[in-house]
Amino acid sequence: MDFRYRLMRFLSGRYGADRLFFVIFAVSAVLSVANIFIRSIILQCVVYALMLYAIFRVFSRNTAQRSREDAWVFEKLGFIKRKKELHERRKNDKCHIYKKCPSCKAILRLPRRIGVHKTVCPKCGKEFTVRVRK
């Protein structure tokens, strides 16, 4: 019971494990498994550094900074989720096709009609042809 009390006192006010901790730890585990086959001392040092940083984040008392780091990383990694959602939406849209304007690179959502069509980009006003198959 005394040990539990001391442990609780030590951990009170600490940041604890968050999403970034689990991501860092998972990356270090994957690199560690890869290092079994590669056998690189540099890669092993990177694994140790990642694990130490993850543990440092868990025991840190600067909770505001750690939560800002977590939010920043997942804001930057959010594009992966948005890309996946966009891909799923496009894949499930059977009535439209998506083409890029050759001049301004805007993505246009066009009706799916088989053949060759001329279209005008609403962003830049450039006219171009679109070929739709199936």
Contact 126, 106 (CB under 8 A): no
Looking at the fold, whether 49 and 94 belong to one and the same domain comes out as: no
| Tally of domains in the chain | 2
Looking at the fold, whether 105 and 128 belong to one and the same domain comes out as: yes
Give the closest residue to 99 by CA, choosing from 88, 83, 110. 110
Residue 101 domain-assigned (yes or no): yes
Distance CA 108, CA 120 (A): 10
Query: Which range of residues forms the domain containing residue 72?
Result: 2-76
Residue 84 domain-assigned (yes or no): no
Looking at the fold, whether 59 and 13 belong to one and the same domain comes out as: yes
Residue 82 domain-assigned (yes or no): no
Looking at the fold, whether 106 and 71 belong to one and the same domain comes out as: no
For residue 108, list its beta bridge partners: 99
Residue 81 domain-assigned (yes or no): no
Looking at the fold, whether 14 and 54 belong to one and the same domain comes out as: yes
Task: State the DSSP H helix or E strand holding residue 132, giving kind and residue range, or none if neither.
Answer: strand 127-132
Write out pLDDT tens, residues 46-95. Answer: 999 999 999 999 999 999 999 999 999 988 888 888 888 888 988 888 89
Write out pLDDT tens, residues 90-114. Answer: 888 889 989 999 999 998 999 998 9
Asked whether the predicted pLDDT for residue 132 surpasses 80, the reply is: yes
Asked whether the predicted pLDDT for residue 35 surpasses 90, the reply is: yes
For residue 118, list its beta bridge partners: 129
Looking at the fold, whether 121 and 61 belong to one and the same domain comes out as: no
Enumerate residues 6+ apart whose C-beta is below 8 A from 69: 20, 57
Looking at the fold, whether 114 and 69 belong to one and the same domain comes out as: no
Looking at the fold, whether 55 and 8 belong to one and the same domain comes out as: yes
Residue 79's φ and ψ, nearest 5 degrees, are: -65, -30
For 92, how many CA atoms within 13 A lie in the half-sphere containing its CB? 6
Q: What is the distance between the terminal CA atoms of the chain, rounded to a whole angstrom?
A: 71
